[in-house]
Structure 1
């Protein structure tokens, strides 16, 4: 893999990871006001972005496993860090949205009666 191609893919991982993380945090905001349909859509979008970023990561790993030269630098390290943070955020926020949904149900039980 040429250095320019590796850099482009690393920047793509950064961008996609950022999109995923942004969707996850938007999902949490939606859940906090009771819009759970929107929260679920946003979490699905985040998951789709993470799958795309993971595919790029897997491409790098596959090339490395084949013994091919991969030009790695701080941009790639940043891309890996960005992706891992996005994965962690999406995972944690998925659980927070579920908790928010349970709390919302408890707080609003019988409110219309």
Structure 2
């Protein structure tokens, strides 16, 4: 169980890192620094990929007959990860909107 708890905490860690990086990316985009925002999103994707690899490993073990104990901690980890993925997806869309707004603003400023 201790090894499983360690694995669950890794899911929480990478999910939390991913969510934090997505929020940092949004802050950069809001300031108009789209390249920095995109770098943060890339780091976010890396963190969430790490979590996804852990999750996939747990699923593969379970499908081979090695059942995972479903604890409140596991439910929390899965909830944390899915929330982080949703925040990442929304951040990507919002960064694109900020980018287009900046382009329009620059275009209007240049053509005055």
Shorter-chain TM-score bucket reads over 0.9
| Uncovered stretches (5+) of structure 2, i.e. residues with no partner | none
Alignment partner, residue 55 of structure 1: 53
Name segments (4+ residues, structure 1) moved above 4 Å: none
Q: Which runs of 5+ in 1 are unaligned?
A: none
Query: Structure 1 residue 86: deviation in Å?
Result: 0.4
Task: Please say if 1:68 is aligned against 2:101.
Answer: no
Per the TM alignment, residue 104 of structure 1 is displaced from its structure 2 partner at its CA by: 1.1
Residue number in structure 2 paired with 1:14: 12
Partner of 2:95: 97
Number of residue pairs aligned between Structure 1 and Structure 2: 111
From 41, 44, 69, give the equivalent of 2:42: 44
Give the drift of 1:112.
4.5
Q: Larger deviation: 62-71 or 19-28? A: 62-71
Other-structure match for 2:107: 109
Report the alpha carbon displacement of residue 109 of structure 1 after superposing the two structures with TM. Answer: 1.6
Q: Give the counterpart of 1:26 among 19, 24, 27.
A: 24
1 CA distance for matches of 2:25 and 2:36? 7
Q: Which residue of 2 aligns with 1:86?
A: 84
Q: TM-score, normalization: structure 2?
A: 0.94
**Higher-helix-fraction structure:** 2
What is the CA–CA distance in structure 2 between the aligned matches of 1:34 and 1:70, rounded to whole Å?
45
Give the Cα–Cα distance (whole angstroms) in 1 for the partners of residues 62 and 41 of structure 2: 31
CA distance in 1, matches of 2:106, 2:76: 43
Question: Offset at 1:72?
Answer: 2.4
